[in-house]
Amino acid sequence: MKYLRLIPILLLGAMFAACNTPKQLYEAQEYDQVIQRYARDICAGEKNLQRINYVAASYHKANQADHERIQALKATGQPDVWPEIYQRYCSMKGRNDALKCFPKEVKKGMNYVKLDLDDDILAARNKAESFLVAKSKQLLSTGSSADVLEAENYVNQLRRTNRENPQLLDLQKRIVLQSCETVELGMKSDYNLPEGFQQVVFGFDEGELPSGIAQVYALKKPKHPFANVVVKDLSISPMRLDEVTFKENQNGKTVEVTDHSQHKDVKLKGHISYYDPRSDKSLGVVPFEVTSTFKNDYTTIKGDREACSAETLSRVDSKPVPVPTDESMLFDAAKKLNDLIAAELKK
């Protein structure tokens, strides 16, 4: 019985295959399907002349249609045509690449010519990206929820056009922030940070965040965070005292001058991982580095004060000061990280 049940399935498969012959696909103007299904076999040595002819005809028909459409779009002079122009150039290049492995005699018989579309594709992509970015920003500036949804479609198209676009992440962040009434922020670190550190990092002042967010929750382990601040490296330098000694002479008098410099710094390095809390999909990562620096310069003298230059006299009353603790400098770094995150969210 098990084998008998397979018979209808096999018959359906055979019927489906029969309804998708190269002739039927070609007549249905499914030119790219013809190429996708049979080009690889021809590259491998397939010599079925009928299939070769249908692939060749499909190739020329599809490219001719794309070429004519590109010319018509360009003639409009409208900026919104470039995403489609870019996609059609990519389709033409894809077909051309699929056939470049054909045997020489097949290429010759079908009048195959290697297309040099790289410059056209690059120019079209740049113009498409410019339009998609500008249109997305325009829609996001209105504050309308309907416009936010429309902007998301343009941003998705931008991502498909170029995932490396430098403005893509900021646009994705703006869409999330204008779509959600609340967002969660989290922090991860393998370092023993002082108690209250996270509260300082996420202690935003009123008006410091984009107006689209009603509330922000700062959690240690949020289930669906919008942003996770990950501290990957923490370094605290020991207090360093640099000294330079020199002599000054004036009116036959001499003084030994020593310039002292106290120095200590704390560095935090890591990244902010952004997610879309509606789908928990990654949007991207932004690295960060913040530094809290303590520096104090002072000058001491040995000898006759009257031998000091005016510049030395302007520094001679400065004094050494107590060096801040590691914890106080970490909190200062936390405040700088807070400012950095606020600026990130407002981009």
On the question of pLDDT at 333 being above 90, the answer is yes
C-beta neighbour count of 202 within 10 angstroms: 21
AA letter at 62: A
Structural domains of the chain in order of their starting residue, each with its CATH number: 19-177 (no CATH), 183-345 (3.30.160)
Distance CA 108, CA 160 (A): 35
Residue with tokens 């397939």: 46
Q: What percent of the chain has pLDDT over 90?
A: 76
The answer to whether the beta carbons of residues 99 and 112 sit under 8 Å apart is yes
Q: Chain-wide mean pLDDT for the chain?
A: 90
Host H or E run for residue 175: helix 168-179
**pTM for the predicted model, two decimal places:** 0.79
Distance CA 138, CA 145 (A): 13
Report the chain's terminal Cα–Cα distance, integer Å. 65
The answer to whether the beta carbons of residues 35 and 51 sit under 8 Å apart is no
The answer to whether the beta carbons of residues 57 and 35 sit under 8 Å apart is no
Average pLDDT over residues 254-272: 96
pLDDT at 206: 77
| pLDDT, greater one: 146 or 5 | 146
179-204, pLDDT tens digit by residue?
887 788 889 999 999 999 999 999 88
What does the block give as tokens for 284?
């991207």
